[in-house]
Structure 1
Amino acid sequence: MFPGAAADRAEADYAVVGAPLDASTTFQPGTRFGPRRVRHLSESFEDYDHHTGRHFSSLAVHDHGDVRPGDDAAEYLDFLAGAIRDYRDEDTLPLVVGGEHTVSLAPVRALDPDVFVCLDAHLDLRESYAGNPLSHATVTRHALDHADEAVVLGARSGCEAEWERADAADVTVVPPRKVPSWEPEFGGRDVYLSVDVDAADPGFAPGTGTPEPFGLDPSTMHDVVRAVAPDAVGFDVVEVNDRDDGQAATLAAKLLRAFVYAHADG
């Protein structure tokens, strides 16, 4: 169980949903261990948040456990989306813990946000990768099948076709150096917030599938999560694997908690 997530489902305002999919990782595998490591590495955190004066254990967070994947990624996403829709219908905000970034498509489909905001080193605007249209490298493009707009914060990697797609009016790319000064302006629209832990510079979070240098520092990511949270209808943190000493999982767990504190306070 995610520490402090002790609320019964019927009383929950938030639900942690593990999504340990590890099907299309193209470099360093291991995201199937992400939810387990995020839960474990959060055990040392204080329950109290001095920014909001709130205790995590008092914020009605429920831990759904992991939704285990089978061999078919498309079928898994449909099943996961169904679980997220159930929480939506119960007026419970989902907190998805991946797993590869592909799992973000399930809550996006279920929640149908107006804006998809993503902290990510990569544009993820490919139509397919290695012949796979459900690759982790296609997430933002697929999200735009549902959202009207995508905002990618911290992107510094993409193929030529992705950068061309990023020039369209429905995509905003904020490079790492400009993220600290970025201010969200959503005009009351519903937002989905996705955090790919590889948005962080790998010096801070090496335990991820495709590390990319010259990235964000944890404080900047923390500020973004807290700024976006009040407008969000869902959240995920993804691409944590088991190939470091817990740095990536610790950062992911802390950002999840920061999201809940800020959303509850907003």
Structure 2
Amino acid sequence: MSLLYKRIASGALRALQPGTTRVWAPWWAGSRDRVRDPRRPPSRDQSGGTYNVPPSAEFVARVSGIATMAKLPYRETTDGLDAAFVGVPIDTGTSNRPGARFGPRQIRAESALLRAYSSGTRAAPYESLVVADIGDINVNLYDLKDTCRRIREGYRRVVATGCVPLTMGGDHTIAYPILQAVAEKHGPVGLIHVDAHADTSDTVLGEKIGHGTPFRRCVEEGLLDCKRVAQIGLRGTGYSPDSFEWSRAQGFRVVHAEECWFKSLAPLMAEIRAQMGSGPVYLSFDIDALDPAFAPGTGTPEIAGLTSIQGVEIVRGCRGLNLVGCDLVEVSPPYDTTGNTALTAANLLFEMMCALPKTKHY
């Protein structure tokens, strides 16, 4: 048996032994490099089960290891998970700049900067949720309709176990098949849709499925509780004098970006929590809701958008809702030369996890 294999096997056996102390070092580190963190023992729930706690950068270099979301363990299924990060790497529904197929990979890379607790809200997700990264949906980059089928079937398996999906896109087309699976389990859901665009076109270039049409399809199929839908950050030029007339006609609350300028969005979110009530809610956050000064790495940027602070206010304002799924879409790394867009996305996904119903707050 080679030395490499022996180290892999011995490390795996130690990880499987109950009651062993967690060691914050990669398997290949020598004994002198292995440092126990007495402040970060494995978190345990009341039944004695162990949560997944990412290694602290105080003891393990961020640049080491395989890139998973927030350096969480990788799992092949959602069995036993309260929430899971999922990648959907497509941009075949994109109408302008491509590249969102690389979004999940870049978000994972930038997420290495995340730590275990939220300093702002004192949330402790890894002390209250069993979370892992379950990898990507195996999409078909040559056939968007087949990709939607694959997404729908994949998310059926996720939600069937009671796991809440936290999705990394991918273009906004993915919200349609995800919501098909979510609504099959929960019935029509409320929707908080944060975006520069309403994404309610009927057809684009003659096609019914694309990143400009998902919420029109969702309404047609009865996936949304239209009185519990809010669209925040809408702006830009349009194809008619009132680009958002259709949304209002369905009963959606439409919040133009101009209504958000120069103010905190905490009061707005209090109103939206009241609108959503106690029913199931899905949060869909297109990174182009933020002004391109904050998030340039996206396919369809629009000026005069939300700030990153307002984006965080919106997500934190979802705490207390019955969130049954969240997504962060449209990160396009080729236009994200500094990585700041993907870093912002990773932080917003962390905030989404912190807003889930079971998350502990100190």
TM over 0.5, shorter chain? yes
TM range (shorter): over 0.9
Match of 2:347 in 1: 254
Greater CA deviation, 10-19 or 180-189? 180-189
What is the one-letter code of the residue matched to 1:85?
Answer: R
Partner SS state of residue 232, structure 1: strand
Cα RMSD after superposing both structures: 1.8
Match of 2:246 in 1: 165
Residue 175 in structure 1 maps to residue 175 in structure 2: no
CA apart distance, 1:208:
0.2
TM-score, reference length from structure 1: 0.93
Q: Deviations over 1:160-186 (max 9, x none)?
A: 274331231422210124342413221
Q: Deviations over 1:141-171 (max 9, x none)?
A: 1222310223110001343274331231422
5 Å-filtered alignment, 1:69-80, equals 69-70=139-140, 71-80=142-151
* Distance in 1 separating the partners of 2:284 and 2:84: 15
What is the one-letter code of the residue matched to 1:63?
Answer: D
Residue 11 in structure 1 maps to residue 80 in structure 2: yes
Match of 2:231 in 1: 152
What is the one-letter code of the residue matched to 1:159?
Answer: Y
- Determine if contact 1:154/1:176 at 8 Å carries over to the other structure: yes
* Distance in 1 separating the partners of 2:312 and 2:306: 10
Relative contact order higher in (CA < 8 Å, ≥ 6 apart): 1
- Determine if contact 1:52/1:262 at 8 Å carries over to the other structure: no
Q: Deviations over 1:221-242 (max 9, x none)?
A: 1111122253211000000011
Runs of 4+ in 1 over 6 A off after TM superposition: none
* Distance in 2 separating the partners of 1:84 and 1:16: 12
- Determine if contact 2:169/2:329 at 8 Å carries over to the other structure: yes
What is the one-letter code of the residue matched to 2:287?
Answer: V
**Equivalent residue in structure 2 for 1:92, among 156, 160, 163:** 163
Runs (5+) with no aligned partner, structure 1? none
Match of 1:32 in 2: 101
Match of 1:46 in 2: 115
Residues matched between the structures, number:
266
- Determine if contact 1:123/1:152 at 8 Å carries over to the other structure: yes
Runs (5+) with no aligned partner, structure 2? 1-67
* Distance in 2 separating the partners of 1:159 and 1:252: 29
Percent of residue pairs identical:
32
* Distance in 1 separating the partners of 2:208 and 2:355: 34
Higher Cα radius of gyration? 2
CA apart distance, 1:4:
4.0
* Distance in 2 separating the partners of 1:178 and 1:190: 26
Match of 1:67 in 2: 137
TM-score, reference length from structure 2: 0.69
- Determine if contact 1:105/1:139 at 8 Å carries over to the other structure: yes
- Determine if contact 1:4/1:47 at 8 Å carries over to the other structure: no
